[in-house]
Amino acid sequence: MSRTTRLTASEALVETLVAHGVNTAFGIAGSAYMDAMDLFPLAGIRLVSVTHEQNAAHMADGYSRVTNRHGVCIAQNGPGVTNFVTAIAAAYWAHSPVVAITPEAGSTTAGLGGFQETDQMPIFSKITRYQVHVNSPARIAELTHRALTIALDERGPVQINIPRDYFYGELETTIPSPQTTERSAGGSESLDRAAELLASARRPVVLAGGGLVMGDGVDAARRLAEHLSCPVVTSYLHNDAFPASHELACGPLGYQGSKAAMRLIAKADVVLALGSRLGPFGTLPQHGIDYWPTTAEVIQVDADTRMLGLVKPIALGICGDAGRAAEAIRVRLVEASGGAPARDEHRIAEIASEKAAWSAELAALTTPSQPGRISPRAALAELAKAMPTDAMVSTDIGNVCSTANAYLAFEQPRSFLAAMSWGNCGYAFPAAIGAKVGRPDRPAVAYVGEGAWGMSLAETMTCVREQIPVVAVVFDNQQWGAEKRNQLDFFDGRAVATNLDNPDFAAIGRAMGADGILVEEVDQIGTALRSAVASGRPTVLTLRLNQELAEPFRRDAFKPKPTRLLDKYRSLSG
């Protein structure tokens, strides 16, 4: 519809969403936008009705990550909208094009302190790429289009704030067609320089980041790495940015990452970072290895200029699409060398031997399980073995979930969804639900610690009501383990508020209408996961674990002993 038409404001909003290909939204019904909601079924928009708006926004995030399209969430003004906040922050740091439609208290009573009234713009100001307050119903199509365009172009959440009364009224408007801007590889001089640096490098390493996944650039990165015969490491929590079974794949950096990746990047003379902001947490020393190669020349490619050289010093920054840049550099290398060079068998053998050493070391870290109490690493290894290759896996924040970084390997992009830098407990289950709605043809599995499960388990009802067969693997270790680990290491083991006495979560799942399976023995994990995935039913798969805990998440953040100055606390100074 590109000509001017007479329609209502609600119709203009909904038609603009439809014009941009939106067919799914996540939220809870609200009077504030009921006039628009009423149109959804005939507009072809499925409103997935959830139990908490935070989870609606996480679902929109998961949906957007696996489909590479907008993930839309909508809520009642005031408390429904403020419930979005945590998840919008998570989407911001994950660069997910989430569209938060936030109806606001009516314009004619704004400022009077009425029902469910607050200024909703400042709340999201630091966690969105773009916000717009619809200041007249006549502009609803234009401003919605603008927000939808920016969400994809700048890869991040946007907010469309609409006073409740602006859903009403008749207007003459044009529904804008979606506008897409082709990304480029970057400046040609910079690409020439990158090719020169790589051509003269003796030990180049490619660092594959989330930008490759978002821009469909993984194949281009593979071709370039094959040309260079160089190791490829993936950035923290982007294990799906390079096919794990490839001979050049070394695994992920970051917490519980691959020592093979760390040892190889530590020796690099040139690092080509493709689509990574080289975030501070993801590049911290791990396993006692301070692996970041401070003397290497770093070439960083990112679609956002502001990321270039922000965290790590770089020799060359390229503002461009990571995959296209990889391809443009490869073409230059081929031209310069007159064809593809021979495989560097020596480097390929070195990669194979580092990987073999790390997998042997990883296997040796697994401790034996006790009857009825499974060792966490054994559980993670069994799950990874039984995971279907096309699965989409989301992981929460917690000691066991974060240790999964060492075990989860993927063959295709858009398979791994983690809470990323926002690091919020309660992310994984709703994200997997959104992913399953976006890609019903692929299995969706969420890894969740039982503490975090308490924050998200009510969405089991959403899975049942809306027939979304996600498998939630709940690691029940009777503790807020990641925080308990800090207490063990830095607070003499004083377990303040970290022990959990849990109900039977599988039984709770069954009470909500899902399947519920409790697994207490390690050799039953594989069968349980496979049959849960095959059942096509929402399933809560609880694994009863022992209390063993991996390395603390933030060893960098604590002093060895706490300082206490008042007499009454002196006994706590260790």
Ligand X SMILES: Cc1ncc(C[n+]2csc(CCOP(=O)(O)OP(=O)(O)O)c2C)c(N)n1
Smallest distance, ligand X to C-beta of residue 322, A: 29
The encoded tokens of residue 548 equal 């063993």
Least CB distance from residue 136 to ligand X, whole Å?
38
Query: How far apart are CB 286 and ligand X at their closest, in Å?
Result: 17
Answer for which of 256, 415, 477, 539 binds Mg ion (CB under 5 A) is: 477
What DSSP letter does each residue of 47-85 carry, written as one string?
EEE-S-HHHHHHHHHHHHHHHSS-EEEE--TTHHHHTTH
Task: Report what 264 binds from Mg ion, ligand X, none; CB cut-off 5-8 Å by kind.
Answer: none
Residue 426 binding Mg ion, by CB under 5 A: no
Least distance between ligand X and beta carbon 557 (Å): 12
Contact between 307 and ligand X by CB under 6 A: the answer reads no
With contacts defined by CB under 5 A, name the span among 246-254, 339-347, 357-365, 479-487 that binds Mg ion: 479-487
398 lies in the site for ligand X, by CB under 6 A:
yes
Compute how many other C-beta atoms are within 10 angstroms of the C-beta atom of residue 510.
16
Structure token pair of residue 102 = 């936030």
* Alpha carbons 559 and 574: distance in angstroms, whole number: 11
Minimum Å gap between C-beta 478 and ligand X is 8
Burial-class residue 503 by CB neighbours within 10 Å (0-12, 13-18, 19+).
exposed
Of 337, 393, 352, nearest to 529 by C-alpha is 393
Nearest Cα to 433, choosing from 474, 455, 406, 464? 464
For the segment 337-366, give every residue that binds ligand X (CB under 6 A): none
The residue nearest ligand X at its CB is 449
Nearer to Mg ion, 323 or 481 (CB): 481
Give the nearer residue to ligand X in terms of CB position, either 222 or 544: 544
DSSP class per residue in 8-31 = EHHHHHHHHHHHTT--EEEE---G
- Using Cβ positions, the residue closest to Mg ion within the complex turns out to be 449
Identify any residues that bridge with 543 across adjacent strands, giving them in sequence order: 475, 519
Is the Cβ of residue 82 or residue 477 nearer to Mg ion in the bound state? 477
* Min CB(298)–ligand X separation in Å: 30
Answer with the entry of ligand X, Mg ion, none that 424 interacts with (C-beta below 5 to 8 A by kind): ligand X
Closest separation in Å from C-beta 480 to Mg ion: 6
User: Helix, strand, coil: what percent of the chain each, to 5?
Assistant: 45, 20, 40
Task: Kindly report the number of other CB atoms within 10 A of residue 34's CB atom.
Answer: 14
| Segment lying near Mg ion (by CB under 5 A), choices 38-46, 154-162, 480-488, 529-537 | 480-488
Asked if residue 449 binds Mg ion (CB under 5 A), the reply is: yes
Tokens 């309660």, located at residue: 426
- Which is closer to ligand X, CB of 406 or CB of 425? 425
> Rg of the chain over CA atoms, in angstroms?
25
Nearest residue (CB) to Mg ion, 251 versus 454 = 454
Give me the amino acid identity at 540. V
Tell me which of Mg ion, ligand X, none is bound by residue 397, counting a contact when its beta carbon lies within the kind-specific cut-off of 5 to 8 angstroms: ligand X
Give first-to-last CA distance, the chain, whole Å: 70
Q: Report d(CA 174, CA 441) in Å as an integer.
A: 36
Establish if 451 lies at the interface with Mg ion (CB under 5 A): yes
Residue where the block lists tokens 């991996």: 550
Q: Which stretch, 50-58, 376-384, 446-454, 511-519, contacts Mg ion (CB under 5 A)?
A: 446-454
CB distance 547 to 477 below 8 Å: yes
CB of 449 to Mg ion, least distance (A): 4
Return d(Cα 249, Cα 481) in angstroms, integer: 31
Q: Are 428 and 90 within 8 A, CB to CB?
A: no
Q: Name 158's bridge partners.
A: 99, 130
Total residues contacting ligand X by CB under 6 A comes to 20
d(CA 344, CA 57): 46
Please identify which residue in 209, 231, 293, 426 interacts with ligand X, judged by CB under 6 A.
Answer: 426
Interface with ligand X (CB under 6 A), residue from 451, 516, 538, 552: 451
Instruction: Lay out the site mask for ligand X across 478-517 (x = CB under 6 A, - = otherwise).
Output: -xxxxx----------------------------------
Which partner in Mg ion, ligand X, none is near 562 (CB below 5 to 8 A by kind)? none
Given the complex with ligand X, which of 345 and 501 has the nearer CB atom?
501
- Tally of residues, the chain: 574
Q: Does 376 bind Mg ion (CB under 5 A)?
A: no
Rounded CA gap, 452 and 431, in Å?
13
The answer to the question of residue 93 lying near ligand X (CB under 6 A) is no
For 110, which DSSP code?
T
Whole-number Å distance between alpha carbons of 348 and 123: 51
Q: Which tokens go with 447?
A: 């890894």
Find the angle CA(239)-CA(243)-CA(246) to the nearest 5 degrees: 125
CB of 487 to ligand X, least distance (A): 11
As a whole number of angstroms, the distance between CA 530 and CA 536 comes to 11
Residue type, 383: L
Compare residues 268 and 519 and give the one whose CB is closer to ligand X.
Answer: 519
Count interface residues toward Mg ion (CB under 5 A).
5
Sole residue written with tokens 């790495």: 225
| Binding status of residue 163 toward Mg ion by CB under 5 A | no
Q: Nearer Cβ to ligand X, position 63 or 475?
A: 475
In whole angstroms, how close is the CB of 157 to ligand X at the nearest point? 18
Residue 459 near residue 87 (C-beta atoms within 8 A): no
Task: Tell which one of 37, 197, 221, 425 touches ligand X (CB under 6 A).
Answer: 425
Closer to ligand X at the Cβ: 450 or 459? Answer: 450
The residue (of 318 and 472) whose beta carbon lies closer to ligand X is 472
Residue nearer to ligand X on the CB measure, 138 or 500: 500
CB of 481 to Mg ion, least distance (A): 4
Nearer of residues 66 and 419 to ligand X, judged by Cβ: 419
Residues that bind Mg ion (CB under 5 A): 449-451, 477, 481
Q: Which residues bind ligand X (CB under 6 A)?
A: 397-401, 423-426, 449-452, 475, 477, 479-483
